[in-house]
Chains A and B, each alone.
Chain A
Amino acid sequence: SQKIEQNSEALNIQEGKTATLTCNYTNYSPAYLQWYRQDPGRGPVFLLLIRENEKEKRKERLKVTFDTTLKQSLFHITASQPADSATYLCALHNAGNMLTFGGGTRLMVKP
């Protein structure tokens, strides 16, 4: 069966360091993958989309990689700030216009 795995344990890092979050999947061949940020009690907010023929995508302090051989995406936040503390969700393109979401990883950036 199709499966998306994100580390369910919270990631705690010090302000200024680079945070790296992992999204692994099995039994998928997604055309693209997306990353979202979700704050407590709010809906997810789109951050980045990366297509299967793209190895890397950047947006300001964010960087996403997509390795279709390893079936893995890495999400990096450089020079992390306490305001980056949130839950980050990866989502894989499924049939048609549908996405399947991972369970999310909570990031805590300490000052």
Chain B
Amino acid sequence: DVKVTQSSRYLVKRTGEKVFLECVQDMDHENMFWYRQDPGLGLRLIYFSYDVKMKEKGDIPEGYSVSREKKERFSLILESASTNQTSMYLCASSFGGGYSSYEQYFGPGTRLTVT
């Protein structure tokens, strides 16, 4: 079974702190994604990586950065956390394959609260 794990289920941080959210997948997937999910707004893509050290901006990259040094690990970084970044953060992974893409496998999510 594909497993996507996230470093924390719940996290509370203060405004201005630097926050790291870690995601690890064990299926040798090329693609990894970071989303945030908010009531009424659904799932929104923050960043996407299709290979080690490669990244693409999603719909809402402002205030976030990412790092992918190893194929299995994709990190989301909040350089200076703000209260409007309080949200559920979901990591996902999928096989590559260009046009013929595959389903995404999601982690359990990290509920981040910024106070």
Interface residues of A (CB under 8 A from B): 8, 31-32, 34, 41-46, 49, 89, 91, 93, 96-104
Contacts and interface: CB of A to CB of B under 8 A. Distances in A.
B42 A104 contact: yes
Nearest to B39: A103
Interface of B: 4, 31, 33, 35, 40-45, 48, 50, 56, 58-59, 90, 92, 94, 96-99, 101-109
A45 B48 CA distance: 19
A98 B45 contact: yes
Contacts of B97: 97
A46 B106 CA distance: 9
A43 B108 CA distance: 5
A10 to B, nearest CB: 13
Given A42-B108, A44-B106, A101-B42, 20 more contacts: A31-B99, A32-B101, A34-B103, A42-B109, A43-B4, A43-B106, A43-B109, A44-B104, A49-B102, A89-B42, A91-B104, A97-B96, A97-B97, A97-B98, A98-B33, A98-B48, A98-B58, A99-B45, A99-B104, A101-B43
